[in-house]
Amino acid sequence: MKKSDFPALPGRPLGNLINNHPLANLAQELIIRGFSKRTIKSYLSHNQRFLDFVGKSAREVSSQDIKNYLLYLKSQNYSNTSLNSVISALKFYYSQLLHRKLFFVIKRPKKEKFLPMVLSKLEIVKIINSSSNLKHKTLMSLLYGSGLRVSEVVKIKISHLDLATKSLLVKDGKGNKDRYTLLSGQSIKLLEIYLKKLPSAQIYLLAGMSSPHLSQRSAQKIFDKALDKSGIKKEATCHSLRHSFATHLLEQGVDIRHIQKLLGHQSIKTTEKYTQVARDFWQGIKSPLD
């Protein structure tokens, strides 16, 4: 079956991936299995770049070709985490779709164990207050106050908010999962003012300039500008606010399994990393130098 034989999906951008991409069979399989649009684009990109690198067809590729490609990426300063993403993309295509046994001699690199960047509560308040734009303040307050990923906050619909119960429905989060998380009192105060200024026909809470909702890149730029204006000299990102949300809840004594649900983590092990940066155990302990 040729890529042109695949039917278009009306009104669905992913349909274009099937019809227009050289790896149409891979795109089709990823869509059928329910992978997110972001993962589909990533897997297609990694596989296409690999084929461009080796200059062979998928049926001609060898295990050594894959190793050579991974060595090349390592020379380009790819992190182990990034290399693992590439391996996952290639392995899905060659092992599951083409049924080729190429990965028996390919071992995954060890995962890096970096501690998450956590800001203090005072630093976060300073960053939020450094902006005079109500929309920007609302964005950052939700990232921290509700522990959201940037991909989640930009897609909040007004209908997902429940100010009365102080809750927020997170639709189609990572892994295509829905969950509820909390709304902070400070976020609600901002929302009560902000919502009154929005057009009645607006669907998304944070509209973009030329799109229905704000882009992730625009959200990061908003945070970067606020961080710079605050004068805080830390290498923080939007995701640092989510890290800080989890760490501060842990320091407050909130059960880690409750935090896991609020964050939408599938495994408790992912949430447990915040025990390494929580500082509540420092209380009452003095350095030998003191």
Cα–Cα distance between 142 and 153 in angstroms, integer? 7
Q: 38 catalytic, yes or no?
A: no
Q: 242 catalytic, yes or no?
A: yes
Catalytic member of 136, 242, 243, 248: 242
Q: 21 catalytic, yes or no?
A: no
Q: 149 catalytic, yes or no?
A: yes
Catalytic member of 21, 136, 248, 265: 265
**Under 8 Å between Cβ of 171 and 203:** no
Q: 46 catalytic, yes or no?
A: no
Tokens representing 217 are 């890149």
Burial annotation 157-192 (CB, 10 A radius, 16+ → b, else e): eeebbeeeeeebebeebbeeeebebbbbeebeebbe
Catalytic member of 43, 69, 144, 274: 274
Catalytic member of 3, 37, 74, 174: 174
Q: 179 catalytic, yes or no?
A: no
**Under 8 Å between Cβ of 17 and 8:** no
Helical pair 238-251 and 134-145, crossing angle rounded to 10 deg: 50
Cα–Cα distance between 162 and 230 in angstroms, integer? 31
Catalytic member of 21, 137, 149, 213: 149
Catalytic member of 49, 91, 179, 239: 239
Q: Which residues form the catalytic set?
A: 149, 174, 239, 242, 265, 274
